[in-house]
Chains A and B, each alone.
Chain A
Amino acid sequence: MHHANHFYGHAHVLARYCGLDDGHPPRINGYVQHGWNIGDGLAPGHPYAERTPSLLWSEQTRRRAWSVGRRNVVVTGAPFAYLLDLRRDDPPPAAREGTIWYPFHGWEGQHVKGDHKELIARIRDTEPGPVTVCLYWHEYGMRRVRRLYENAGFRVICHGYRGHWWRDTDPLFLDKQLTELRRHARVASNRLTSAIFYGIAAGCEPAVYGDPMILAKEDPTFGGTARIRRQWPQLHGESVDLPTAVGIARAELGTDHRCTPAELRELLGWAHPAGGTS
């Protein structure tokens, strides 16, 4: 029902997993969590119709959402976990090399402030192999920012546009991201974000370091970056313990809570699709 269900082609991935046509995914009866989240699973300020199901990634998020008054909160796992299942039989990449680096991104409504040059220097000093920098479409479209990374000798890519109000969603956003992640040995960012967890799940060694930058009008309700560093210190640093990271990523993406297609169809309200879009 909410246009955020389409972000990053999440609804499309879920439709594929459910055996439906992913051209126009049916309307989802609920809010699909669209990014790793230290709050109730919904983006800050997300319009909310009372008791509409929240389809969340992890059990921890479910408990948190319940504690702040949300009801009908259900753990289904991240859409990325479903994509991993859809592409579990992909041939393995010839060789994983280098690092895919995700500078923390803002979005249309919130811009990021920080020193990209300083971050670039830190990346150069830290990463042992070739670096691919993946910019969010917003920064990718800012020639000045993109050039900074290109001039540093990094390969600069963008996975696509996440979409807005059902328009211009790249339904293969996550697919492209998974393909890129599987080409790299490491995944890194200056903040612990969805991409880090995706990278770990895709087999990368994670790292979180560098200036976390400042997001304009960042919502401090759930503690912000300071709380993230306090709660997940094991995932911060230029090198982290991989088995620990894999366990945390598994829990945060809800990989073990991935539903079967029939189960997911019921939970999304797709058992009797009446048309419309999510």
Chain B
Amino acid sequence: MTTGTTAPVALPGGEMLAWSDLPEQRLADGGPLGALAARVVPAGARVLLAGPHDPALLDRLAHAEVTCLLRSHPDAVALTDRAARVIVGGPAGLDPADTFDVVLAGAGLDAVESVEGDRLGWTGVLARLAAALRPGGTLLLRLDNPLGVSRLVATSPWYADRADAAWSVGGVLDAGRPANREQLRARLAEVGLTADAGYAAYPDPGAATALVGTDALDRSPTSGLLDAVLHGACAGGFVGGAVLQDPARLAVDALHAGLGATLAPGWLTLARRPGPDAPVDPPLPVVLVQTGPPGVGVVEVTDGPAGWHWAVTGGGATRVRPAPFASREAAHRDPAALTGPVPPGRLLRTLLLDACLRRDLDALRRLLGGYAGWLAGQAGPDGRLTDASALADADNVVVDGDSFAVLDPSWRATGSLPLEVVLARGLWRCAVTLLTGGYAHPWPSTLDVAGLTVVLGGVAGHDLDRATVDTAVETEAAVAAALRGLDADGRGALATELRAVTPTDPPAGPRGYQQMREAWLRQREELTRLAALLKWTEELLTSRERALRRADATINLLSGSLSYRVGRLAITPARLAKRGARAAKRRAREALGPKPPEEQQ
């Protein structure tokens, strides 16, 4: 348990004095790992926290007696007020007689070993930590996947790591290090542990914002919830960096192929040392995810007899009402709304993209028509939508047969929005995804984002106009600004940025090599199209000029002919009479017309 006083720091040897492992990226309340650890650790348990962890995680273990094993002396000093005991050094510094109820190695085993002393290797460290587990005790171990999504999208190869921590690069060539979940289970068995529940850690195993049960990933590859969770975690996890390809697309593809767990960036595995005092397994969530503005906490999904249910732990659990400032913002997140069942079904976004790729206009008509009809059904008598349905876009709507539902109802509009604007915003977001994402779709490249939005509206059976689309973009900027905590200037800049999105732009988010190359190809194709059009137009112009010259020549020829001159002479009286009649008519109109009012003197 947290002592409130400075914990003793044990220095058994092997400490690293000029070194720090504490993560740079820290999630509120220790993130999903903190929430999971809090559930795994029973009250009053003796816990060994092996390796560097976010200090906030220690706060989530306030109900336990925590011993930290750290190789970095500065890190140990920083944690002395949060732990009962701190041991600084390699795993060899652990007292062989000291055993624990729970051993947490949430940073993996590499970060447990010090540069000082004899090398134990991955297997040796595991054996040492396993030995520290009392019979019936639990190990929570992180293992990074050498073929995980984060590795597959990395711009630098894993074997060229030049970071300070890469004094030794372990990989799939190391037979002692497990490279997949089966090998991990075998290694655990070798040290007398039985693998239990497992979680896939996305998008970065070092700062996972989503932990998803591997069983759920294996069993439910079409789940809209898992689709949204993986996509959201990966879309937000690489921002500001460079990647080879879109990690969110890859993660979702892996999910649909039944490989969501296999290609996870890392795994968190619970293992148990068999023993007579083994505790009853606590019910563990299927999903733990942290998204959106800080303070919401970790959103959990638990499995029950009636299916999956929402729950919130951490900061959001105690915050049942929107922040006071929320009323001034276009949108807010209300974790209190996450109490009911998770609606089943596939994510609308995925279904739409799939139908676009297959150019299945009938399916698109069904999906978009169904979406628009469902939105209309959510609208009040005034034709306006409120709360979660006002923000229901394809990223947060699931489709189960013919029924539509908001997946995560905690994203809510503060005011009400007209149905057409809600629909146009959802379709505009789809259009941006299709165009900037470089997706194949059934429509021509000549459409801009607003144009494709209108076309999607037509497919949905709604005749949208561009003014409505413009309002929708403004709404999107307001919603995004509110959810990102931007001020008025930021919101204005965002609106300008959103309006300027063109089909030849790469998608927002991390700079993906594939996406940049695709954007360049689209630009090249557009130039090809325009050059061909210009050539065609030039040829047509030449042809029409030639036709005009022929017509001129004919007119000149006819003008000079005797019959033309005779005819013109013959109709001269009529022409003069017509001219005179016009003049008389004009004079009569001037004389009879209303006179301008006299000026007041």
Q: Do A and B bind each other?
A: yes
Chain A residues within 8 Å of B, Cβ to Cβ: 1, 29-30, 47, 49-53, 59, 62, 71-75, 165, 256-257, 259-267, 269, 271
Taking a contact as CB atoms under 8 Å apart, the answer to whether A260 and B446 are in contact is: no
Question: What residues of A have a CB within 8 angstroms of the CB of B465 in the complex?
Answer: 262
Q: B169 interface residue, CB < 8 Å from A?
A: no
Taking a contact as CB atoms under 8 Å apart, the answer to whether A52 and B362 are in contact is: no
Question: What residues of B have a CB within 8 angstroms of the CB of A71 in the complex?
Answer: 445, 525
When C-beta atoms are compared, the residue in chain A nearest to B535 turns out to be A49
Within 8 A of A (CB), among B489-526: 525
Task: Identify B442's interface contact among A1, A74, A264, CB under 8 A.
Answer: A74
Taking a contact as CB atoms under 8 Å apart, the answer to whether A50 and B458 are in contact is: no
Taking a contact as CB atoms under 8 Å apart, the answer to whether A260 and B532 are in contact is: no
Query: Measured between C-beta atoms, what is the minimum distance from A192 to chain B in Å?
Result: 24
Query: Measured between C-beta atoms, what is the minimum distance from A278 to chain B in Å?
Result: 12
When C-beta atoms are compared, the residue in chain B nearest to A55 turns out to be B444
Task: Choose the segment among B308-316, B348-356, B449-457 that binds chain A (4+ C-beta atoms closer than 8 Å).
Answer: B449-457
Taking a contact as CB atoms under 8 Å apart, the answer to whether B533 and A267 are in contact is: no
Question: What residues of B have a CB within 8 angstroms of the CB of A53 in the complex?
Answer: 444, 446
Taking a contact as CB atoms under 8 Å apart, the answer to whether B532 and A51 are in contact is: yes
Within 8 A of A (CB), among B450-478: 451-452, 454-455, 457-459, 461-466
Given contacts A51-B529, A52-B532, contact A263 B361 (CB under 8 A): no
- Give CA–CA (A265, B457) in the complex, Å: 12
Total inter-chain residue pairs, C-beta < 8 Å: 84
Task: Identify A47's interface contact among B361, B443, B458, B536, CB under 8 A.
Answer: B536
Question: What residues of A have a CB within 8 angstroms of the CB of B462 in the complex?
Answer: 260
Question: What residues of B have a CB within 8 angstroms of the CB of A262 in the complex?
Answer: 454, 457-458, 463-465
Q: B528 interface residue, CB < 8 Å from A?
A: yes
Selected A-B contacts with CB under 8 Å, 24 pairs: A1-B537, A1-B540, A29-B446, A30-B446, A49-B529, A50-B528, A50-B532, A52-B529, A53-B444, A53-B446, A59-B361, A62-B442, A72-B445, A74-B444, A260-B458, A260-B462, A262-B464, A263-B454, A263-B455, A263-B457, A266-B447, A266-B452, A267-B444, A269-B446
Query: Measured between C-beta atoms, what is the minimum distance from A165 to chain B in Å?
Result: 8
Within 8 A of A (CB), among B425-446: 442-446
Taking a contact as CB atoms under 8 Å apart, the answer to whether B445 and A51 are in contact is: yes
Question: What residues of B have a CB within 8 angstroms of the CB of A264 in the complex?
Answer: 458
- Give CA–CA (A51, B524) in the complex, Å: 12
Most buried by A among B458, B466, B532: B458
Question: What residues of B have a CB within 8 angstroms of the CB of A51 in the complex?
Answer: 445, 525, 528-529, 532
**Is the contact region of chain B dominated by helix, strand, or loop, or is it mixed?**
helix
Question: What residues of A have a CB within 8 angstroms of the CB of B535 in the complex?
Answer: 49
- Give CA–CA (A49, B530) in the complex, Å: 9
When C-beta atoms are compared, the residue in chain A nearest to B537 turns out to be A1
- Give CA–CA (A269, B536) in the complex, Å: 17
Question: What residues of A have a CB within 8 angstroms of the CB of B533 in the complex?
Answer: 1, 49, 52
- Give CA–CA (A256, B459) in the complex, Å: 11
Query: Measured between C-beta atoms, what is the minimum distance from A235 to chain B in Å?
Result: 22
Query: Measured between C-beta atoms, what is the minimum distance from A220 to chain B in Å?
Result: 27
When C-beta atoms are compared, the residue in chain B nearest to A264 turns out to be B458
When C-beta atoms are compared, the residue in chain A nearest to B362 turns out to be A256
With contacts A51-B528, A263-B458 known, what are 5 further pairs, Cβ within 8 A? A51-B532, A256-B362, A260-B461, A264-B458, A271-B454
Taking a contact as CB atoms under 8 Å apart, the answer to whether A266 and B532 are in contact is: no
Q: B359 interface residue, CB < 8 Å from A?
A: yes
Taking a contact as CB atoms under 8 Å apart, the answer to whether A72 and B463 are in contact is: no
Question: What residues of A have a CB within 8 angstroms of the CB of B451 in the complex?
Answer: 266, 271
Given contacts A72-B445, A72-B446, A267-B447, contact A49 B454 (CB under 8 A): no
Question: What residues of A have a CB within 8 angstroms of the CB of B359 in the complex?
Answer: 59, 62
- Give CA–CA (A136, B147) in the complex, Å: 67
Query: Measured between C-beta atoms, what is the minimum distance from A86 to chain B in Å?
Result: 15
When C-beta atoms are compared, the residue in chain B nearest to A257 turns out to be B361
Question: What residues of A have a CB within 8 angstroms of the CB of B529 in the complex?
Answer: 49-52, 72
Query: Measured between C-beta atoms, what is the minimum distance from B554 to chain A in Å?
Result: 14
Given contacts A29-B446, A51-B532, A72-B446, contact A260 B463 (CB under 8 A): yes
Taking a contact as CB atoms under 8 Å apart, the answer to whether A49 and B443 are in contact is: no
- Give CA–CA (A259, B463) in the complex, Å: 10
Question: What residues of A have a CB within 8 angstroms of the CB of B442 in the complex?
Answer: 62, 74-75
- Give CA–CA (A261, B214) in the complex, Å: 48
When C-beta atoms are compared, the residue in chain B nearest to A73 turns out to be B444
When C-beta atoms are compared, the residue in chain B nearest to A259 turns out to be B458
Taking a contact as CB atoms under 8 Å apart, the answer to whether A52 and B454 are in contact is: no
- Give CA–CA (A257, B363) in the complex, Å: 12
- Give CA–CA (A261, B463) in the complex, Å: 7
Per-position contact with A for B549-585: 1 when CB-CB < 8 Å, else 0? Answer: 0000000000000000000000000000000000000
Within 8 A of A (CB), among B135-169: none
Query: Measured between C-beta atoms, what is the minimum distance from B419 to chain A in Å?
Result: 16
- Give CA–CA (A72, B537) in the complex, Å: 18
